A = this chain, B = another copy of it.
Amino acid sequence: MQHTTKISLIAAGIFCLNVIHVQAQRIQSVRFSDVTIHDNFWKPKQEKVATATLNACIIQTEEKSGRIRNFEKVARKHGEKHEGIYYDDSDVYKAIEAMAYSLKNRPDAALEKKADEWIDKIAAAQQPDGYLNTFYTLTDINQRWTDMEKHEDYCAGHLMEAAVAYYNTTGKRKLLDVAIRLADHIDATFRVANRPWVSGHQEIELALMKMYHLTKEDRYLKLADWFLQQRGHGYGKGKIWDEWKDPKYCQDDIPVKDQKEITGHAVRAMYQYTGAADVASVNQDPGYMNAMTAVWEDVVYRNMYLTGGIGSSGHNEGFTDDYDLPNGAAYSETCASVGMVFWNQRMNSLTGDAKYIDVLERSLYNGALDGLSLSGDHFFYGNPLSSIGNNARNAWFGTACCPSNIARLVASVGDYIYGKSENKIWVNLFVGSGTKFQVGKTNVPLLMETNYPWEGNVKIKVSPSQKVKYALNIRIPGWAGNTAVPGELYSFIGAGNEKFEVLLNGKPVNYQVEKGYAVIDRTWQNGDEVEVKLPMEVRQIKSRKEVKANEDRIALQRGPIVYCVEGADNAGEVWDLLVPENPTFNIQKSKILDESVISVQANLLKVEATADGLNVKTKPQLVTAIPYYTWANRGKGPMQVWLPSKIKNIRIAE
């Protein structure tokens, strides 16, 4: 991580903390279960998740990879061997969590029956003292809680998340009771007993906060905070510490509240800071916010891909040096982008700052969504920003965290659209959907209509039962102004011609801008309609010069969507293109398989050999760019997000 700017960052962090301390949890997210999505973008994706994705999870869990069989084996007590990897239990839990969200959107008796079946098997595998982990129970239960890397608490956390989700959807307590017994076992074993434990893969902290919010049991808040505070004191024992000697890998080199730089494994980091934000939103601890402000800037200003993906290295599934963002070798794990969505929502809730939603939106529509095939049943674990044609989505993985993670995110995407706070309604994402607010004692139904992300017109209609005064805070995306990403790691080339506009009942309206939101504070009545016009020009983007991988390269973005060029649209080849100065762009309605998208036609150059084969020349070439998240759905082929404007390295191809 870069060190030169640390002092000012810390100062900024401290400044923020003061603000936060008094305003913590200013925004409460409207839960997806209170939002009805009816658009042409997310609704079909939720349908695919409900069918194809969950079906893939079920087939893998039950038949192919045998993850559910470990629970059955524990219950049978026949001394049978554990199958798979020690963290496989978590995939079953995450699948149940995704099923729970999907069942809320789209009831399905057969799916609920399946979840109930699995829950019975999980419950039957719980030990009398509340412990639940098939790996240790089937190998040697005397070894439990000895290697902090072995994901026992991580699996427990995912069980808790699943339990809360399933209870919220169905009202059934069975899994929740299992989760409570397990959480209490962990609380008694560690916090109450004052026995050190550093989670080797953070996750339980945010899960415990969900348990806390559901049960109101204070001990879960305390335990979540306890887990966070265990870190950075040299308590670690197990593979990460004793074999790898790398506590940084799991952000255990210094206490969480002292962390200023992003390090180590990306998913672990995202889950940790999500949990820390959840704790801070309740106990208003300034230490967490202080650390998170600095770390967030280190992520977004120096270590994030244009797609919102993070963790550039497959070696540690995580972070390396600042600005080390290779495209073809990008790891950019799907789960890390999902984690970016989680964490940035919390940061927005804590601060009311739209810049966090800018990042959330970028990760959601690009880095995360790319993890899921258009068919819903194939997945990317890593999400590179270029390909020589050797990348294909897989039906499953040995380590299968990503499929159920993207499934639960898509199924619960309604969580990220709206927020509420006292006398304020927040519109964060632009998704055709409806919800209902309560302002004072007045119900305020709200309906949003838009073809976002393909079109920039968004109509927001409110229907309060009586006139009511509140502020409608509508996010003005950073990209709708002249900020591609906060911190300018990526910036637009040239100024945009179109402007962000807001109309009220068809006429221009005055609004204040506060932290990236257009604030319309007035008395609203039934039928009032706000229309937002987002500038949907195709914009060229360049990187900071420190990003060597993108030197003399540009990328294209339109709205929140990052584009790429893929062989399938360009006669099989995209590595012989050059971007001229001032290229022109047109847009076109297109289909990638059954996905309706806007594609971009760009007038670029193609480099080809001269007739004697000893030199090269360029010729104009009309190139088609497609949304990044849709690539690799039509077989293997070359792809690039960042297109060169100059020749750097040459390959003479076959």
- Whether a CB of chain B sits under 8 angstroms from the CB of A649 is yes
Specify which of B386, B645, B653 is in contact with A649 (CB 8 Å cutoff).
Answer: B653
Q: How far is the CB of A620 from chain B (nearest CB, A)?
A: 14
- Whether a CB of chain B sits under 8 angstroms from the CB of A650 is yes
Specify which of B577, B615, B645 is in contact with A647 (CB 8 Å cutoff).
Answer: B615
Range class of the A interface residue count: 20 to 34
Cα–Cα distance between A607 and B616 once the two chains are bound (Å): 11
A650 touching B388, Cβ below 8 Å: no
Cα–Cα distance between A608 and B578 once the two chains are bound (Å): 16
Cα–Cα distance between A546 and B27 once the two chains are bound (Å): 70
B575 touching A647, Cβ below 8 Å: no
Taking CB atoms and an 8 Å cut-off, the chain A residues in 621-654 that contact chain B are: 644-654
Which residues of the other chain, B, contact A549 by a CB distance below 8 angstroms? 654
Taking CB atoms and an 8 Å cut-off, the chain A residues in 309-339 that contact chain B are: 326-328
B328 touching A616, Cβ below 8 Å: no
**A646 touching B614 in the complex, CB below 8 Å, given contacts A651-B576, A652-B578:** yes
- Whether a CB of chain B sits under 8 angstroms from the CB of A613 is yes
**A652 touching B614 in the complex, CB below 8 Å, given contacts A388-B388, A390-B390, A609-B647:** no
Q: How far is the CB of A392 from chain B (nearest CB, A)?
A: 12
A648 touching B653, Cβ below 8 Å: yes
Which residues of the other chain, B, contact A576 by a CB distance below 8 angstroms? 649-652
B577 touching A648, Cβ below 8 Å: no
- Whether a CB of chain B sits under 8 angstroms from the CB of A612 is yes
- Whether a CB of chain B sits under 8 angstroms from the CB of A573 is yes
Residue of B nearest to A647 (CB): B609
- Whether a CB of chain B sits under 8 angstroms from the CB of A39 is no
Which residues of the other chain, B, contact A613 by a CB distance below 8 angstroms? 552, 644-648
**A652 touching B650 in the complex, CB below 8 Å, given contacts A388-B388, A390-B390:** yes
Cα–Cα distance between A647 and B644 once the two chains are bound (Å): 20
Q: How far is the CB of A649 from chain B (nearest CB, A)?
A: 4
Specify which of B609, B652, B654 is in contact with A577 (CB 8 Å cutoff).
Answer: B652
* Copies of this chain in the oligomer: 2
- Whether a CB of chain B sits under 8 angstroms from the CB of A283 is no
Which residues of the other chain, B, contact A577 by a CB distance below 8 angstroms? 652
Which residues of the other chain, B, contact A610 by a CB distance below 8 angstroms? 647
A650 touching B390, Cβ below 8 Å: no
B612 touching A646, Cβ below 8 Å: yes
- Whether a CB of chain B sits under 8 angstroms from the CB of A618 is yes
B654 touching A573, Cβ below 8 Å: no
Residue of B nearest to A580 (CB): B614
Cα–Cα distance between A388 and B328 once the two chains are bound (Å): 13
A362-391 near B? 1/0 per residue, CB < 8 Å:
000000000000000000000000101010
Residue of B nearest to A646 (CB): B613
A614 touching B647, Cβ below 8 Å: yes
Cα–Cα distance between A137 and B20 once the two chains are bound (Å): 71
Which residues of the other chain, B, contact A614 by a CB distance below 8 angstroms? 578, 618, 646-647
Q: How far is the CB of A637 from chain B (nearest CB, A)?
A: 13
Q: How far is the CB of A548 from chain B (nearest CB, A)?
A: 10
Cα–Cα distance between A652 and B616 once the two chains are bound (Å): 12
B609 touching A649, Cβ below 8 Å: yes
Which residues of the other chain, B, contact A644 by a CB distance below 8 angstroms? 613, 652
A616 touching B618, Cβ below 8 Å: no
Specify which of B615, B645, B646, B651 is in contact with A651 (CB 8 Å cutoff).
Answer: B651
**A653 touching B651 in the complex, CB below 8 Å, given contacts A552-B613, A646-B609:** yes
Which residues of the other chain, B, contact A608 by a CB distance below 8 angstroms? 649-650
**A607 touching B390 in the complex, CB below 8 Å, given contacts A613-B552, A616-B615:** no
Which residues of the other chain, B, contact A390 by a CB distance below 8 angstroms? 388, 390
Residue of B nearest to A611 (CB): B646
Specify which of B607, B612, B648 is in contact with A650 (CB 8 Å cutoff).
Answer: B607
Residue of B nearest to A577 (CB): B652
Cα–Cα distance between A418 and B560 once the two chains are bound (Å): 72
Which residues of the other chain, B, contact A647 by a CB distance below 8 angstroms? 609-610, 613-616, 652
Specify which of B573, B609, B612, B649 is in contact with A573 (CB 8 Å cutoff).
Answer: B649
Cα–Cα distance between A536 and B649 once the two chains are bound (Å): 36
A575 touching B651, Cβ below 8 Å: yes
Q: How far is the CB of A641 from chain B (nearest CB, A)?
A: 11
A326 touching B650, Cβ below 8 Å: no
Which residues of the other chain, B, contact A386 by a CB distance below 8 angstroms? 654
Which residues of the other chain, B, contact A651 by a CB distance below 8 angstroms? 575-576, 650-653
What are 14 A-to-B residue pairs whose CB atoms are below 8 Å?
A: A386-B654, A388-B388, A388-B390, A549-B654, A575-B651, A578-B614, A608-B650, A609-B647, A609-B648, A614-B647, A616-B650, A648-B653, A649-B654, A650-B650
A interface residues (Cβ-Cβ under 8 A, vs B): 326-328, 386, 388, 390, 549, 552, 573, 575-578, 607-610, 612-616, 618, 644-654
With A615-B616, A649-B654 given, can you name 8 additional A-B contacts, CB distance below 8 Å? A549-B654, A576-B649, A576-B651, A609-B648, A613-B648, A614-B646, A650-B650, A650-B651
